[in-house]
Amino acid sequence: MSDPRVIGAEAIEDARQRGRLIVEVMPGDIVTALAKETAERLGLKLVDGPVEMPAPVRTDGITSLRRVLYRRSPKWQAPSRTPRKARRLGKLALIGAGGVGGNIAHLAAMQDMAEEIALIDIAPGVAAATALDLNHTSGITGAGGRCIGGETLDMVGGAEVVVVTAGRARSPGMTRADLIDVNARVIRQAAEAIRSEAPNAVVIVVTNPLDEMTVEMLRATGFPRERVLGMAGTLDSSRFRNALAQAAGVSPADVDAITLGSHGDEMAPISSRATIKGRPLSVFLSDAQIEACVKDAITGGGQVVALKKSGSATIAPAHASIELINHMRGARTGHVPVSVMLQGEYGIDGVVLGVPAHLGQGGLVKVEELRLTEAENTALHAAAEAIRGRLGL
Ligand SMILES: NC(=O)c1ccc[n+]([C@@H]2O[C@H](COP(=O)([O-])OP(=O)(O)OC[C@H]3O[C@@H](n4cnc5c(N)ncnc54)[C@H](O)[C@@H]3O)[C@@H](O)[C@H]2O)c1
Ligand SMILES: O=C(O)C[C@H](O)C(=O)O
């Protein structure tokens, strides 16, 4: 048997410096008397780990703790983020093969999720080069899907799913809303091609400003709301979970949290339903820490833009886009935050907004109506009004 872990005063000081409010004591751990004193002085809680502790033993000033400050719900398990075996798409088309589009293509090829991945970009050679580059990986990965690339939008022909990342990204000092006019033109061009060449496709809009561009895509394709989705909530939720995990000093896999509302200043991270290891956030974090995590989720995109100086985040947005496709093809279960046209859900009608929803082969299956606090509901309605205002609805 390995030696027992000794939790001393230093470990408590260290936990405090990392901004933690609890120190987990696992069965068999030994907590020194000084550590106990230090924890009390600093206001840190010593909390039992997942299994109940054995009876307390006292030997020469060393105490093993038995006090159970909280118990996990026996039903709770960390949410599984491992893909299940899923349906392979026939053709996936990507309009825009820049930072986000190129990364989506890479992830899609690595997951071998489609027989054909078509990359389309007006920049000469960019899409064809990326497609060829990706095909060159197949001798290592063994992935059977083929990538093709070109400059004309008719290459969307026959696609089951089209992801649109074409358009300008913002630079420091700009808001996403500053891109409305320039990117709406690109969305209209893409929509025209999708409507005529891939009339049965599900479209995932990524181009910013996300909620407004999703409305533009709906209008220009004339597709039903089920087949026009906007990607933002999966990205913002991942940022929120990352911030919460960092603050609590736990693995992001132990955090369950989502953001709703707009992909902008009116984003609504839903703290009331968020959990860490299946427990409410307040068990692990102070109000100030939770508020800081909310702010981090809302400003995450801007933080990357400020660091990059030109262009915006590409890797996490690509993962978030892939997450939506994986929900559609059955690789993921449960609901996922996605921007959709609301038809009365949450008491909101006629505007695209990020909400939790179930997805399937044909796109939107059902919007999940979660019970929110009054403040969260108000934030959701405020986001809807802000988007309406920007679109002059
Ligand atoms: N929704 C989100 O969460 C999210 C996240 C990240 C980025 N974005 C947005 O996605 C968009 C793309 O970001 P990026 O980092 O990939 O930018 P990027 O500049 O790297 O790539 C955009 C690509 O679009 C191409 N393009 C422009 N007009 C086109 C057209 N008419 N047809 C085909 N291709 C065209 C460009 O040549 C370029 O290669 C931006 O609007 C950005 O703000 C949204
Ligand atoms: O912030 C941006 O402009 C890009 C994107 O919307 C993001 O959140 O990373």
CA distances, 294 to each of 4, 45, 206, 291, 373 (Å): 38, 24, 22, 5, 15
Do 101 and 119 belong to one domain?
Answer: yes
Q: Is the CB of 317 under 6 A from ligand 2?
A: yes
Query: Residues 1-18: pLDDT tens digits?
Result: 456 677 887 778 777 766
Do 375 and 340 belong to one domain?
Answer: yes
Domain count, the chain: 3
pLDDT of 124 reads 98
User: Containing domain of residue 14, as a range?
Assistant: 6-47
CA 27 to CA 10: how far, in whole Å? Answer: 20
Q: Give the ligand 2 atom nearest the CA of 210.
A: 6
* Global pTM value: 0.83
What ligand has the least distance to the C-alpha of 211? 1
Do 360 and 257 belong to one domain?
Answer: yes
Boundary of a domain, candidates 230, 263, 279: 230
CA 350 to CA 18: how far, in whole Å? Answer: 45
Does 66 map to a domain? no
Q: Is the CB of 278 under 6 A from ligand 1?
A: no
263 catalytically annotated: yes
Do 243 and 224 belong to one domain?
Answer: no
Do 316 and 200 belong to one domain?
Answer: no
Q: Which two tokens stand for residue 76?
A: 């709770």
pLDDT of 170 reads 97
Query: What are the 10-residue block averages of pLDDT along the chain, 393 residues in total?
Result: 69 72 75 80 74 40 40 47 76 98 98 97 98 97 95 98 98 96 98 98 98 97 98 98 98 96 95 95 97 98 96 98 97 95 97 97 97 95 94 84
Do 370 and 244 belong to one domain?
Answer: yes
Boundary of a domain, candidates 183, 208, 230: 230
Do 242 and 383 belong to one domain?
Answer: yes
pLDDT of 82 reads 53
Q: Give the ligand 2 atom nearest the CA of 176.
A: 3
Ligand 1 pocket test, candidate residues 180, 211, 236, 312, most atoms within 8 A of CB: 312
The CA 43 to ligand 2 mean position distance, Å, reads: 38
CATH number at residue 241: 3.90.110.10
Query: Residues 237-253: pLDDT tens digits?
Result: 999 999 999 999 999 99
Does 30 map to a domain? yes
* Contact criterion met (CB below 8 Å) for 93 and 198: yes
Q: Is the CB of 213 under 6 A from ligand 1?
A: no
pLDDT of 52 reads 38
CA 81 to CA 357: how far, in whole Å? Answer: 17
Does 84 map to a domain? no
Do 209 and 305 belong to one domain?
Answer: no
Q: Is the CB of 357 under 6 A from ligand 1?
A: no
Minimal-distance CA residue to ligand 2 atom 2: 301
Do 250 and 306 belong to one domain?
Answer: yes
pLDDT of 187 reads 98
